[in-house]
Amino acid sequence: MMEKIEHIGIAVKNMFESQLLFEKLLGVAAYKTEEVTSEKVLTTFFKTGSTKIELLAATHPESAIAKFVEKKGEGIHHIAFEVMDLEVEIERLKKEGFVFIDEVPKKGADNKRIVFLHPKNTNGVLIELCQEINK
């Protein structure tokens, strides 16, 4: 079962400029910047109340974020939902007919294990499922 919206991911062209913009907009500094080399992406996270915003900038022209920005421009890339047990949720959603981009969880940013549902099954919205990695 999905617990809550964990974060909203926003694809950006320039991380430095976008980080400054969101610091002004939200009135808070980013709490974390992290490179996820497996995804060829640089991430920056903001928290305001219980809401998190993740900025994503490509570190390589062949990354999914670079292709997204080239095709659609900057903007909302995905919505991430926190789950208690990622494997159980993957199996539940597979039984419901949802298609995953990758069915095997991988390490994502901000101490999470992640998988993505294919947007063709979710009204064009890329959905990320994430679970906190045990500390």
User: CA dist 51 to 7, 67, 96, 105, 128, Å?
Assistant: 6, 27, 28, 23, 15
Across the range 53-82, mean pLDDT stands at: 97
Across the range 14-27, mean pLDDT stands at: 97
Say which DSSP state 119 is in. G
Predicted pLDDT of residue 65: 97
Predicted pLDDT of residue 89: 96
Residue 1 pLDDT class (50, 70, 90 cuts):
confident
Give tens-digit pLDDT for 76-103. 999 999 999 999 999 999 999 999 998 8
User: CA dist 8 to 1, 51, 91, 121, Å?
Assistant: 18, 8, 24, 19
Predicted pLDDT of residue 135: 53
pTM flag (> 0.75): yes
Predicted pLDDT of residue 2: 84
Residue 134 pLDDT class (50, 70, 90 cuts):
confident
